[in-house]
Amino acid sequence: MNCKALDVRKQYLVTGAAGFIGYHLSRRLLEQGCSVVGVDNMNEYYDVKLKSDRLEKLKPFEKFSFIKADISDKEAVSGIFEENEPDVVIHLAAQAGVRYSIDNPDEYIRSNIVGFFNILEACRHGAVDHLVYASSSSVYGANKKVPFEESDFVDNPVSLYAATKKSDELMAYCYSHLYKIPSTGLRFFTVYGPMGRPDMAYFSFTDKYFGGEPIRIFNNGDFEYDLYRDFTYIDDIVEGICRLLGNPQEGPVPHCIYNIGNNRPEKLMVFVETLEKCLGRKLGREVVFEKIFEPLKAGDVPATYASIDRLQEAVGFKPTTTIEEGLQRFADWYVEYYGIK
């Protein structure tokens, strides 16, 4: 796949550059000849070594520079913008995780609310051409209408994480209205793939299998009422972002929101069984996870399903990677990265 409408003359600032999506996006931009300034605070929410290894893969690119900084530090953010004068800002830094927000709410306010406000203020004073920022499918809450459309009512979040992401959308709209900052919000749907986040289910399941531990599946063992997720492979996410970078919204309020999902939800148990097969194929032996079934956890939702009509109309793109292809690439990477025999 090739990113469309990328202007290599522009300076791209990527927050969360050592994160899962941030790393893959930064790499794609650099491979296309773009100049990228990466920002990340390298926090310990998950294995810092994985973040460092991602950065090591970016450092050989001559047009890449990295700044270790926390976006909740307004002075630091202002300094980064003043020194680097970015044309396009892709804001991916955030405290992620639905369940983590139950026990650690302060982190979500500091990073997702205060941090995003600092980015908006810096964009306001920095004459940025386009701000693209990460939202989440979590804003749809327990919406029973599927597929989820960007015009759906999303004022009933079921987790603090979702509430912070909805707040980000509202703040971005306000700044677009007041200061004419072209901004685009992206509602990501369950992103997975190589060098992913260890807190995500597919990665955690794999860790537990090789650690000799059972996995926990939160559908209470009811296979008729299985969880559905719109699993979206990382390369499809990156392609969608890249195409949108050169497509800022126009009009009196230059703000728009897009779903980026696979548009083909899968049962969680089908996803788990496919992961078992992919790991078994890579290792040359049968892989079966030991499973413990529990009730749905607070903040979780039974289904996510993205309508991507708006994305297709805007940039002519629809994700194409099947879970079989995507999970095989993850399994191959995991086994090699961790030296599994």
What lies within 8 Å, CB to CB, of 150 at 6+ separation is: 187, 257, 258, 259, 307, 310
Q: Which of 45, 161, 175, 209 is catalytic?
A: 161
* Cβ atoms of residues 99 and 297 within 8 Å: yes
Ranges assigned E (strand) in 71-230: 88-91, 130-136, 183-188, 191-192, 215-217, 228-229
Show the tokens assigned to 60: 């050989």
Q: How far apart are CA 154 and CA 138, in angstroms?
A: 9
C-alpha distances (whole Å) from 109 to each of 1, 101, 105, 115, 305 are 36, 10, 7, 8, 27
Distance of CA 192 to the CA centre of its chain: 9
Which residue from 156, 92, 155, 87 is spatially nearest to 126, judged by alpha carbons? Answer: 87
Q: How far apart are CA 120 and CA 133, in angstroms?
A: 10
What lies within 8 Å, CB to CB, of 174 at 6+ separation is: none
**Burial readout 18-37 (b: 16 or more C-beta within 10 A, e: otherwise):** bbbbbbbbbbbbbeeebbbb
Q: Is 161 a catalytic residue?
A: yes
Which residue from 323, 229, 224 is spatially nearest to 268, judged by alpha carbons? Answer: 229
Point out the residues that are catalytic.
Answer: 161
